[in-house]
Amino acid sequence: MKLKILVLNGPNLNLLGERDPEVYGALSLSEINRRLKVSADELDVSLKFFQSNSEGELIDLLHQHRKTVQGVVFNPGAYTHYSYAIRDAISAIQIPVVEVHLSDIKKREPFRRKSVLAPVCLDQISGLGWVSYLEGLKRLAAELRGKAGRRQGRKSKLLKALIAGVMGLFLGRESYAFNMDVIAGYGMPGAGVTGSGYIGGIGSQNLAYGIQFNAEASSRLSIQFGTLYSPRGFSVTNSGVTSIYSTQALMFPIMIRHKWFDLISIGVGGYFSHSFIQGSWDVIPSGVTTMNLDDSGVILSGDLRFKILPLVNLVLDARYLYGFQNLNASSAFTAYVRDLQVLVGLRFGK
């Protein structure tokens, strides 16, 4: 977006070039303005220039431009040091004003060291000659562009990702990339310590398969959701007992992913899971197998939980790896790092 900025100069600055060149430099005001215009074009900013020797006119100019420009680079001359009327005008117009001075007012006569305007300005830049104006311009542009960027912000991006997810699912809209992964994998939730104090081996491992959808709101941000079904788990303890238990879990992972490179994306998310624990078989070193299924084989326990994972989700897309960009199906590799779920599958879609 092209920004519009007003460059305003106060009393006696029309005489720049002839007026105290050892303090203010040899450049005329029109030469300074010409240089600013060149830099403004590079910054994609359009400038309007005004100079006035009268306090009232400066105030009028601030008022008149309050809705037509997004900011002001202002050298108020000697009004800097005592004009409460200009100070009020600056705070009234509610667009950012950067106060600039050619000379370093902090190092001059005591009456110049104080600015009554600085408290209501975005910034004060002084002592750099004509470059003070340039720096003021850059400061304003950065502030205004930063603000616009922040306003668009994270919230709207996430919302866009969500909408894209839903649209991709039901409408298959072209503008949104939409992929489906059919995956199978191996999950290793990690080591656990049991109440009796021994380390529960490498925890309950499981095989999982399922479907995941990836709806992309932009080339960088996507939301991923789907199901994973894990039909069986087993754990190996450090005493050598292998426990095979039929934990059946249904997981619904939801993930927001950010893609930095074509190959890898990283995200965070969580999942709802529901697991049924139907029983277990222990295989102990002596060869004895015990079955701990209750007589009727009914579900012993089950749980429904929502787990927020501090996980890193890496997606490696083989399309890019092997140059199969034109294929509809490609292999996708997803590692849920926190839970060490390593899933490999086929990706259908764009």
The residues that touch ligand DQA, with contacts defined as CB under 6 A, are 12, 75, 77-78, 80, 101-103, 105, 112
- φ/ψ (deg, to 5) at 120: -105, 5
> Among 210, 350, 349, 232, which residue's Cα sits nearest to residue 281?
232
Paired residues of 233 in beta bridges? 206, 245
65 versus 101: smaller Cβ distance to ligand DQA: 101
CB of 10 to ligand DQA, least distance (A): 7
Taking CA atoms, 311 is separated from 52, 268, 276, 334, 349, in Å, by 61, 6, 24, 12, 25
Which two structure tokens, joined as six digits, stand for 156? 């709207």
Smallest gap from Cβ 98 to ligand DQA, in A, equals 13
Give the pairing type, strands 97-101 and 123-126. parallel
Does an H or E element contain 317, and which? strand 313-317
Q: Which is nearer to ligand DQA, 16 or 164 (CB)?
A: 16
Of 53 and 242, nearer to ligand DQA (C-beta) is 53
For residue 163, the surrounding DSSP H or E stretch is helix 131-170
Nearest approach in angstroms of CB 159 to ligand DQA is 46
Q: Measured from the CB of residue 72, what is the shortest distance to ligand DQA in angstroms?
A: 15
Least Å distance, CB 81 to ligand DQA, is: 6
Q: For residue 101, what are its two tokens?
A: 């001075």
Specify the residue, 80 or 179, whose C-beta has the smaller distance to ligand DQA: 80
- Residue number, 75 or 222, with CB nearest to ligand DQA: 75
Report in angstroms the alpha-carbon separations of 114 from 107, 109, 123, 219, 238.
11, 10, 14, 51, 75
We find the least distance from the C-beta atom of residue 64 to ligand DQA, in angstroms, to be: 22
d(CA 189, CA 201) in angstroms, rounded, equals 11
Catalytic position from the list 65, 101, 176, 336: 101
Cα separation, 250 vs 344, whole angstroms: 18
Per DSSP, 20 falls in state -
**By C-beta, is 74 or 234 nearer to ligand DQA?**
74
Active site residue 101: yes
Contact 279, 243 (CB under 8 A): no
Tell me if 305 sits within 8 A of 273, measured CB to CB.
yes
Q: How far is the CB of 157 from ligand DQA (least distance, A)?
A: 42
* Nearest residue (CB) to ligand DQA, 78 versus 199: 78
Which of helix, strand or coil describes residue 141? Answer: helix
Residue 50 amino acid letter: F
- CA 15 to chain centroid, in Å, comes to 48
Q: Which residue has the tokens 């303090």?
A: 23
Active site residues: 24, 101
